[in-house]
Amino acid sequence: MKKILVVEDERPLAEAVAFSLEKEGYQVDIALDGERGWRMCQQGAYHLVLLDLMLPGMDGMEVCRRLRRESDVPVIMLTAKDADVDKILGLEMGADDYVTKPFNMRELVARVKAVLRRYQGEEKGKAASEGVIEAGDIALDRERHEVRVRGEVVEMPLMEFRLLELFLRHPGKALPREYLTTQVWEGDYFGQSKTLDVHVRRLREKVEEDPAHPRHIITVRGVGYRFEAGGESS
């Protein structure tokens, strides 16, 4: 059974969330403040943490940062409408997803399921890190440094290769521009923003059937890019 921790200081909301998740078969614990949430994360083996951004004492941002230093448990932030999404999903905090308050429980449950599914996919990807990563009609072979699209070998310079690998490892996840650039160009973010777009354009020309209407590498306005394995049209 999957264990979820809800860190939320509004008790009625925390209980409503717990109730909805338990109905779906999850085991749910509640922490009403950041300190306690942090302690429970360290003790309990949770599969996912739902974390309110605004908490008394240690806020959600700090809890998330600490969590990221110690574990890769998926985190979904509960945020206000005007929250800084770039920051939440970016390197600074590294949450997996966010849900804006007020949310309905169906939406929240759907996000939880999606993040857990994605996380399982990533774990599989990690296990196969020496081998071939496949997503839809794309296959990337790290050992041979070879990419096949729809069965055909495609020429792929190193930076494009690394960018594609990053996409393939995080299917369905909106990846912030800053994250992509620092990962691909190893920390040298400044001046690389345009370069990122150039590389994305080149990648699209190689992996998309119709680069003008990408189905794999989707632009996420205000954030960055999201990779879809099956490819839904953007």
Rounded Cα distance between 192 and 173, Å, is 21
Position 52 contacts Ca ion (CB under 5 A): yes
Question: Which CB, 87 or 162, lies closer to Ca ion?
Answer: 87
Tokens 């966010």, residue located = 98
CB 17, min distance to Ca ion, A: 12
Instruction: Number of residues interacting with Ca ion: please give it, by CB under 5 A.
Output: 3
CB 9, min distance to Ca ion, A: 5
What x-and-dash track marks residues 90-129 binding Ca ion by CB under 5 A?
Answer: ----------------------------------------
Q: Which residue is nearest to Ca ion (CB)?
A: 54
Position 83 contacts Ca ion (CB under 5 A): no
Rounded Cα distance between 175 and 80, Å, is 20
Q: Site for Ca ion (CB under 5 A): which residue of 54, 99, 105, 218?
A: 54
What x-and-dash track marks residues 6-45 binding Ca ion by CB under 5 A?
Answer: ---x------------------------------------
CB 115, min distance to Ca ion, A: 20
H runs (alpha helix) in 141-220? 158-169, 177-184, 193-207
Closest CA to 179 of 120, 92, 91, 96: 91
Question: Which CB, 84 or 209, lies closer to Ca ion?
Answer: 84
Rounded Cα distance between 129 and 122, Å, is 10
Position 58 contacts Ca ion (CB under 5 A): no
CB 55, min distance to Ca ion, A: 6
Q: Which of residues 195-214 bind Ca ion (CB under 5 A)?
A: none
Q: How far is CA 184 from CA 179, 180, 221, in A?
A: 9, 6, 20
Rounded Cα distance between 47 and 29, Å, is 12
CB 53, min distance to Ca ion, A: 7
CB 174, min distance to Ca ion, A: 24
CB environment 65-76: b (16+ within 10 A), e (fewer): ebbbeeeebbbb
Question: Which CB, 34 or 176, lies closer to Ca ion?
Answer: 34
Closest CA to 141 of 128, 150, 160: 128
**Contact between residue 38 and residue 58 where contact means Cβ atoms under 8 Å apart:** yes
Question: Could you list the residues that contact Ca ion (CB under 5 A)?
Answer: 9, 52, 54
